[in-house]
Structure 1
C-alpha cells in the first residue's frame, strides 16, 4: 500500500473511532442525552464497537492500525514498516482531532446546555442572548478554576480516578501491552484473517480491557486517541469547560507507547 493510502486510511479510521468512542462517552455524560447515565459498561462496549467499525472501514486501505502504539508494536515486531510509520502517526493524530471535532458538532446543543447547568458548573448567571431556548446559563468559571479538569474533559481525553502518577502509568503500560500483543497474535491468525473476524476479535479485546483495566485511568491505550481530542478540547469555544489537564497528558502517551514496545518484545521472545 502507498503512503497516501496509509495516511488516508488511518485518518478515516481514527476519525470514526474517536467520533463513535467519544460519542458514547458524551451520551453517557451529557445530562440531556437520551443515554445519560448509562454507565461504564455502555462506554466499554461503545468503544469496542467503535474499534470494530473503524477496522472494517479502514482495514483494506491502511491495515487500520488506528493507534500509534499498535503501529510501533508492529514496526518493532516485523521491522519492515519503519518508512511508513510517520504516515501512520500523522493520519492517526489528524483523525483523532477530526473525530473529536465531529463529536462536538453532533452534541453541540447538549454541550451548551450541560455546561450552563447550575448543577454541573455552579454559579448564578442569567440567560444571555446566546442561550438556547429554555436554557439557564451560568457565569463563566473564575479564572483560578480554569486550569482544572472540567466537567466534559472525559468526552475528549482520559484522566485517573486516583492520581498516583506511577500507578497510572503502569496501568496504561499493562493494558496496552495486552492490547498490542493480542493484535499481533490476531494478525498472524490465518483463520481470523480469512473469516474476516479480526476486527471483531480486536473489538472484544478492547471491551474486555475496558471492563477489567479501564477503571483506574479510563484506559487510553492509544496515544492519538488521547492527545488529539485533548488538543481539540483546549481549542473549542466551550463555556465553563475547565482545563485540559496537560500535567497528566504525558501519561496516556508514554504509557501506551511503552506498552506497544513491550508487547513486541514479548511476542518476539515467546512466539
Structure 2
C-alpha cells in the first residue's frame, strides 16, 4: 500500500488539474449564470450536482472553482518555496550575523497565527487573487527556509563546494549551481505540503467572504452554502469534499516524497 501512495496521489492531483484546465469546455453552464431552477437537488434534469439558492449550477462552479483554488495554492506554494530556499541558502552559507538576522525574521513570521494574520491583511488591503497569493506566500516561507538552511549547513563544507571555491566561483554561483540543487529534497517536500495548506487557507478566507468576489473558488461556494445547510446540503457537500480530497492528497504526496527522498528513512527500509 505504501508503494501505491505516490502514483495514487499523483493520479488524483492530475485528475483535478485536468478538470480545472478543461473547466471552460466541459462545464455545462457559466458558473455565475443563475436561473429559475434554484435549490434543485443532485441528479435533477440538467443539473447533475444540483443548483444553489440563485439557480447557479453546482458542477459548473465546482469545476471553475478548482481553477482558482489550485492556482492560488500552487502559486503561493511555489512563491513560498522560492523565498524560503533563497533565505535558507543565504543563512546557511554565510552564517554569522546574516544567519542570525534571517532566522530571527523567519521565527517572527513562524510564530504569528497565520489565519488571523491573513484575515487582517486581506481585510485591510482588500481581496483579489493576486493579493491572496502574495499573502499566502509571505506566511508560508519560514518552514522552507529553516529546512533549506539545515541542508545547506550540511553541504557547505562538502568536497564539491571546496572545488568550486578553488575554481574561483563566487558565493552566489556556489549557492545556485552547486549547493542548492543538492538541497532541493526538503524544499520539494515542504512545497507539496504548503500547497495543501495554501488551498485550505484560501478556502477559509473565502468562506469568511474575504476571497476574490470576481471568481468562483471552493471556499466561495462554502460561503454561500452556510445559510442553506439544512435545505440544500449539497451546496456545502461537494466543495467540502473537493477541498478535503485535494488537501489530503497533497499531504499524502508530501509524506510519500519524504519517504522517498529522506536518506535516513531509506536506510531503515
* TM superposition score normalised by structure 2: 0.30
Higher relative contact order (CA 8 A, sep 6+): 1
- Of structures 1 and 2, the larger Rg is shown by 2
* TM superposition score normalised by structure 1: 0.30
